Structure 1
Amino acid sequence: MSRPVSVRVLAVAAALAVCACAGARAKRSETYGARKGLAQELVRRDDWSRAFALVDALYREDPKDPEVLALRGVIYREQKLFKEAEADLAEALSLAPDNAYAHSNLALVFDREGRGSEALEHHRRAAALDKRNAGYVNNLAFSLFAHGKPREAIPVFHEALRIDPTNPRIRNNLGFAYAGTGDFRHAAEQFSMGGGRAEANNNLGYAYQVASNFAQAFDLYVEALRLQPGLARARQNLQEVARRLGRPIPTDLPPEPRPPTEGT
């Protein structure tokens, strides 16, 4: 007689488990999925305040949704709340270990905190999980470069370009990696493919500046500003290297354009 009782107990337990799961799912409103999609779009647009309001409401509905936890972790990271970001992204991965988005964004938290080995581990995991995502591959390459491994980064940047060959961000990152190895010829080639002539000269100038070749950087910044007088980054960089060299800025350099006045 004991065996049927055990069967009945198991059946009741199973029914209760099903009810519990159904109850957990019922917490989500009919608009949950649509609101999550909107939150994802707001994060893509860097609209952090509106994104957080949506994500926080979604979290209250379902605190175990790994996608919502990952989104909130990204928002925390962008507000420099790194401990909170790490906690949310780590919890997302405990719920969904193969979530490439959470791996990639946790890696970016570790990059910002200078935790290179942990960052690279999660960048590699994200790139392995989503092999056709050029952004994840680029992030892995840039992390290698940022942590002092430019030679290792170069083939990974090329891998990212095979996925997205016209991406200017990847081109410019590859240019800086080449410059990091002392190969300024290939750096210049990549910069020229990553933007206009003025931007390319500014990027190459900055690469020379990082290498302490201030005279070469000075000339490139001047050329960038002759091509595009409104390029603020080049003007700021030129002022810095001019100060370091003790050289005056050329008097015939086109002045910085004035911002338009109201009503014009």
Structure 2
Amino acid sequence: MRDSRPLPGGDDVSLPSLAEVEHSDWPSLQRMCETLGLNPRGRSAVVRMRVADYVRHRAHPPSWRPAREHQAALLTRLGHPDLAERVWESTIQLEAPAPWVGLGHAQLAGGFLAEAAKSFGRAAQMGDPSGELHRAETLAAGGDYQGAVGACEAYLTTHARDLRGLLMKSTFLARSGFEEEAIKVLHTAAELHPEVPLLKRTLGIALLRSGHHAAAADALQEAALREPKGIDAQVDRGAALLLAGRTREAIGVLRETLETDPTRADALNNLGVAYLAMGRPKSAAVNLERAAKHRESPRILLNLGKVMEDAHEPAEAVRAYDQVLKLRAKDPEAVAGRKRLGVPSKSRRSPRKGTAKSPKKATRTVRRKTVPSTEAPPS
């Protein structure tokens, strides 16, 4: 006699959700146990946990498939802009600017700057004003800074107080050579957003680099008042005062800064330059040596070498210039300093035997120019 075939298992029982299990009353919980073939005996908490574990282990997670827009964005991030561009083109709809923005980013990642700028411009025409900022970044990436400024201005016509647009416009103006206009935009941004203390310091640094030392000192003083715990603005203010010729004020500001952080190499360098301008070469040398110990910067070492020349210590000056050449080969100032001190340049050819050495010329005492440092501190 043959074995009977296995009976069909029947339809799958629909499982209750975990929320239903959690909030069901005792009779409903018992019915769930009977339906699922579980033991309904025990305390209610134990039975509820029994049903919840059964549902948790047998419930299938909901299937998820990314939409076309998600696929295109992921393809752009994964480094496949050509595939992302095709997917974005399939999602374009009327009066929908988002696909145009995504398409522009894919084209930008693929290096097609002109097409990306057109896509961002199309998004701006369809009602997304941020498309103008994306277009500005694309134009600037291609070197068209004036076009980038124009795109920022088009965005700022409807968002005049937007900080991102103002800073982008200032940056592109500075890169295109219009430093004064860039400073004006930064000044406007600082007035519109007094809650951002970093703007005043950014304005002060821009004024300092453009040669407006007195105005930079005033802006950096206001930035220091807004950030009492930060000393970056104070260090920059000391450099601005020194370049403006207010040496005594610069010394006071820099010494106060070094009381808070005695390891700031840029403040030590600027203090050494200030002391040298006041006719105190020993104090200048001490501070420059401390600065060189904390940071091996060519600018600091060059200042130290020049101070040592003025102090008639040629060995220390040569050591500083040699250290500069290790960091930056063929530095013109270091090479010139070695020549002033009568040190011959290193040559690969060996000297011939029997040649008489030429007598060394006496070194002239010349006052060397030192330069304050406006470098940012190491992070």
User: Fold conserved (TM > 0.5)?
Assistant: yes
**Residue 70 of structure 1, CA deviation:** 4.2
Paired position in structure 2 for 1:114 = 211
| Structure 1 residues 177-196: aligned runs within 5 Å | 177-196=274-293
1:101 paired with 2:195, answer no
Deviation of the 1:78 alpha carbon: 6.4
1:224 CA drift (Å): 2.1
Say whether the 8 Å CA contact 2:308–2:317 is kept in structure 1: no
Seen in structure 2, the aligned counterparts of structure 1 residues 167 and 136 have a Cα distance that, compared at 3 Å, is same
CA distance, structure 2, for counterparts of residue 254 and residue 69 of structure 1: 55
Flag structure 1 segments of 5+ consecutive residues without an equivalent.
1-26, 30-47, 256-264
Cα gap change, 1:116/1:201 in structure 2, threshold over 3 Å: closer, same or farther? closer
Give the distance between the partners of 2:312 and 2:227, measured in 1 at CA.
Answer: 43
Paired with 2:254 and 2:175, the residues of 1 have a C-alpha distance of 24
Name the aligned partner's letter for residue 184 of structure 2: A
Deviation at 1:162, TM superposition (A): 2.9
Amino-acid identity (%): 23
1:137 and 1:78 map into 2 onto residues whose CA distance is 27
Bigger RCO (CA 8 Å, 6+ sep): 1
Q: After superposition, where does 1:176-255 map in structure 2 within 5 Å?
A: 176-196=273-293, 202-207=302-307, 213=310, 219-226=315-322, 229-232=325-328, 235-241=331-337, 245=340, 248-250=342-344
Deviations 1:36-72 (A, max 9, x none): xxxxxxxxxxxx969x99xx69x66954133653465
Structure index of larger Rg: 2
- Identify which of 140, 153, 159 aligns with 2:256: 159
| 1:177 aligned partner, one-letter code | A
Q: Could you state the TM-score of these two structures normalised by the residue count of structure 1? A: 0.59
Q: Pick closer, same or farther for the CA change 1:90–1:222 going to 2, 3 Å.
A: same
Query: Aligned equivalents of 2:182 and 2:197: distance in 1?
Result: 16
Query: Structure 1 residues 68, 134: closer, same or farther in 2, change over 3 A?
Result: farther
Partner-residue secondary structure (3-state), 1:195: helix
Shift of 1:177: 1.6
* Equivalence for 1:18: none
TM-score, length of structure 2 as denominator length:
0.44
**Number of aligned pairs?**
207
Unaligned runs of 5+ residues in structure 2 are 1-127, 131-139, 350-379
Shift of 1:159: 1.9
Q: The residue matched to 1:182 in structure 2 has which SS?
A: coil
Q: Is the 8 A contact 1:66 1:91 kept in 2?
A: no
Q: CA deviation at 1:95?
A: 0.8
SS of the residue corresponding to residue 326 of structure 2 reads coil
